[in-house]
Chains A and B, each alone.
With several copies, the nearest count.
Chain A
Amino acid sequence: MKRKYSEVKTILIGGQAGMGILLSGRVLAKFFGRMGLYTFLHTEYPSLIRGGHNFCILTVGNRKVYSQRLYADTLIALDKTTLEKHLWRLKHNCLLIIDKKIEGDLVKRDKFKIVELPLDELLARKKLPLITKNMVMLGSLVAILGYGIDTMIDVVSSVFKTKYKTENIEATKLGYEYTLKNFKHLQETFIDRGVEKKIIITSGNEAIAIGAVLGGMKIYTAYPITPASPLLHLLAAHQRELDIVVVQAEDEIAAINIAIGAWYAGARAITATSGPGFSLMCESIGLAGLTETPLVVILAQRQGPSTGLPTYTSQSDLKLALQASHGEFPKIVIAPGDIEESLVLTSTALDLAERYQVPVIVLVDRYIVESYKAIDFPNITPLFERHYVVEERDVIFKRYAITESGISPFAIPGMGNALVKVNSLEHDEYGFFVEEEKAVESMIEKRLRKMSTIYRDLGESDIAAKTYGNGREVIVSWGSTKGPILEAMNILESKGLKMKYLQVILLAPFPKDKIRRLLRGCERVLVVENNATGQFANLLKEYLDAEIISLLKYNGRPFYPEEIAERVEEVVRK
């Protein structure tokens, strides 16, 4: 099979909220997955239930696709706004699939290939409901791309379990047939089939759910909040089959304390939230820290501060994650860079939390958790080694035994006969309150020694940081900017510019030695992050002598690879 490396095509679908825009993107991603093509699906919608402009960008390729692209090869417009808002994105000779109702002034007919569908008419004729418009368009696209309709029908049936199943299937067929009949001349050949591997289409939230269960999470508790709530919905819907308990708490403070209680009693628990909820959890994170109760909190960042832009992405909660709660205690902060890492690192977080008896914060963002990506069927092996001890003697357990590593044996009430006492006041080895100077100092020192132990264990590991590519010019980033950066590297490479990319995953304890080593000799680095003050760049500054050039974006939208590539070229040129 001939394969052109790095062939990607981008399809933009837009319309009003309620028109099933985001769903169309997912259906299409699944369809391409079945055809052996990888995809990345970025979505954007306002914080409204109805009305307002929704769109999604699906980038398709015959190799892994790491992010959406800025310019579109195909536009599916369910309304005029879509056409108006995204005209600038359309490549020359772009394929337009539009509702015939849309007035055409905006569209220079000679620049584009246009498929106009008389949607209302078509649907009326078949007595199909208006909400299936999007499916007509998807059917039309399948026809133009020269595919058969069967796989698409399969996908549609799998997505619409019961409600409107037949209607959606009918609508898809309708679009397919109408297009074959009227627009066969516009048919084009799409990217060659890619892989034979089994591809799954997963959102970050879904990946986190899988990772959580593989890491032995037994209790999930949360208060709904965008963009973390899809995780709640998903886990709630599948709680029986996944053998977990899902509890919607009365607020985020309740949620995190339910999780802490569960861990104390031996069950792994997770709570997920976004900025406002995380801010509320600060006191309780300190409780886990001082009492050395394991805890995993997933912080899905959105654009703040305060309520801010609830449905838009951001990386502006890094500093709060690093210092969540008053006082000083060891904690781990990790930031997966993409959907695959979200899966693995959620499992890892559960393990680390129990191993080191610290709160672990998994920093993701709206861009990771609500994007969909085609990934290879993941390696499904559980990471579920337990780290507690069972003491059968009827004693008060030395829950806070002073050790060199700072890690004390972890026991669970009810397992064994020993009693486990835990205290939010400063305490001695048994958990009893102490105020005496020496006792206080040695317990504080014990706790803080864990930070060195964690650093020793993880600081040089793959969890700390990774590099990609090789070149004199270096990009450094953390979290979800990874995808657009990898795509930018593709773009740059095609222009002959090779880059090295350092992805920092572990943010606390900060893997300064590994970073220093990996960046040795490097004179300047471009730091890419989705915030306005360069929080990560400032952190890096403490440990790095290289010149730091910040590329920031803080309007709630993720980076596009084109933007990064452009900035790199600017930097290199000057």
Chain B
Amino acid sequence: MSISRLRTHVKITWCPGCGNFAIMNAFIRAILELEFKIKDIVVITGIGCHGRLHEYLRLNSFHTIHGRVLPLAIGIKLANKDLLVIGFSGDGDAYAIGINHFIHAARRNVDIKYIVHNNMVFGLTRGQVSPTSPLGLKTKSTPEGNFVRPINPIALALIAGATFVARGFTGDIEHLTTVLKQALLHRGFAFIDILQPCVTFYNTLPMLRRKVYKLEESGHDISNFDEAMDRALESDKIPIGVFYKVRRPTFEEQIPQLKGKPMSFRDIEMERVLKFVGKLV
């Protein structure tokens, strides 16, 4: 299958040079290479430039309201655990309005994938400060420079209990594709923060190119939590790749009722209800 098999007819409206292109392409490649069953994939996107992705993907999709990608994804997965459920957010979507769901989804270890387009700025609303904007960044809402310390999504995910934590970079599609593939194959909550430039409001590409290095080329042990945390807290250089991966029972695996047919397709068993009502006599 070629990439176009997964594209709709819809014209892309991202700014030329935007990092979203790389994310889309790497994602399509990962899906194709892993030969997932197309009809069983569901993509959820939040509101933001990143959110338009769903328009371009010939996949089941739900373009939801700002900040609520994760609870929606959890609902989908609980309804039908046979679906491959992938959420996409922007850094505003994920870490400003939506950070509570992020922490809680990570600790639950629901088997969903979460991909954050981190351009360190609010794109669609035309350039305000975001929780990942670096100190000093001048934006429309911080004209004298941001003075609030950026959050560290990788470290937060680790602390929150995510079982797969990675960072991607749109400047290296090959690498990004590999990371995405690993995430898609992980069983449990898989989180990837992808550093992408917003060429219109904050072009991080040159800075990122200078700073990134690959974890897998630096002898990093992805099964070691402490090491993952140390890397997450690095600030001069920016490691990309998988920080941490561990297999823990997923949320669904711990709910006995979920064994068997997906909830969506089950019928009602009358004896069960009768038994329940019987107790009220």
Contact = CB atoms under 8 A, between A and B. Distances in A.
Do any CB atoms of chain A lie under 8 A from CB atoms of chain B in the complex?
yes
Interface string B64-105: 111110111111111110110000000010001101110110
A51 B276 contact: no
B101 to A, nearest CB: 6
B258 A380 contact: no
A422 B62 contact: yes
A255 B101 CA distance: 11
* Residue among B16, B49, B64, B128 with most chain A CB within 10 A: B64
Interface stretch (B24-32, B140-148, B175-183, B226-234): B140-148
A421 B60 contact: yes
A284 B65 contact: yes
Given A236-B143, A258-B75, A213 B273 contact: yes
Nearest to A421: B61
Contacts of B49: 49
Contact of A269 (B14, B40, B75, B276): B75
B200 A219 contact: no
Contacts of B47: 307, 424
B75 A276 contact: no
B210 interface: no
Contacts of A423: 54, 62-63
B272 A243 contact: yes
A422 B83 CA distance: 16
A413 interface: yes
Contacts of A419: 38-39, 58-61
Given A48-B13, A432-B10, A246 B141 contact: yes
B131 interface: yes
B62 A264 contact: yes
A244 B68 contact: no
Contacts of B207: none
Looking at chain A's contact residues, the main secondary structure is mixed
A414 B39 contact: yes
Given A245-B255, A266-B79, A257 B60 contact: no
A433 B256 CA distance: 40
B142 A396 contact: no
B40 A414 contact: yes
B143 A237 contact: yes
B126 interface: yes
A267 B276 contact: no
Contact of B82 (A209, A307, A414): A414
Contact of B71 (A253, A283, A380): A253
A287 B78 contact: no
A519 interface: no
Interface string A401-434: 0000000000011111111111111000001110
B276 A249 contact: no
Interface in B39-64: 39-40, 42, 44, 47, 49, 52, 54-55, 58-64
Nearest to B269: A243
Contacts of A384: 267-268
A34 B11 CA distance: 42
Interface residues of B, number: 84
Contact of B277 (A210, A223, A421, A432): A210
Contact of A224 (B78, B83, B141, B276): B141
A186 interface: no
Interface in A224-258: 224-226, 229, 232-233, 236-258
A241 B272 contact: yes
Contact of A52 (B13, B64, B103): B13
B280 A200 contact: yes
B59 to A, nearest CB: 6
Given A223-B96, A242-B273, A264 B258 contact: no
B200 A50 contact: yes
A306 interface: yes
Given A248-B141, A267-B264, A432-B55, A213 B64 contact: no
B270 interface: yes
Interface string A18-53: 000000000000100110000000000001111110
Interface residues of A, number: 94
Given A242-B272, A267-B263, A414-B80, A49 B15 contact: yes
Contacts of A210: 273, 276-277
A225 B97 CA distance: 12
Contacts of A233: 128, 140-141
B273 A287 contact: no
Contacts of B11: 51
* Residue among A206, A259, A421 with most chain B CB within 10 A: A421
A416 B129 CA distance: 39
Given A229-B128, A264-B62, A258 B72 contact: yes
A254 B101 CA distance: 7
* Residue among B8, B128, B200, B274 with most chain A CB within 10 A: B128
Contacts of B42: 265, 413-414
Contacts of A226: 125
A243 B273 CA distance: 9
Interface in B165-209: 200
A380 B275 CA distance: 11
Nearest to B16: A50
Contacts of B255: 245
A241 B75 contact: no
B281 A239 contact: no
Contacts of B142: 236, 248
A462 B278 CA distance: 28
A527 B243 CA distance: 62
B124 interface: yes
B123 A262 contact: no
B13 A380 contact: no
A396 B128 contact: no
A221 to B, nearest CB: 7
Given A245-B78, A245-B255, A419-B39, 17 more contacts: A47-B124, A49-B200, A200-B281, A224-B122, A250-B100, A251-B100, A254-B70, A261-B71, A264-B72, A264-B75, A265-B42, A265-B80, A265-B83, A287-B65, A421-B62, A423-B63, A424-B65
Interface of B: 8, 10-11, 13-16, 38-40, 42, 44, 47, 49, 52, 54-55, 58-68, 70-80, 82-83, 92, 96-97, 99-101, 103-104, 122-126, 128-129, 131, 140-144, 200, 255-258, 262-270, 272-277, 280-281
Closest 7 CB pairs of A and B: A261-B75, A266-B264, A267-B79, A257-B71, A265-B79, A413-B60, A258-B75
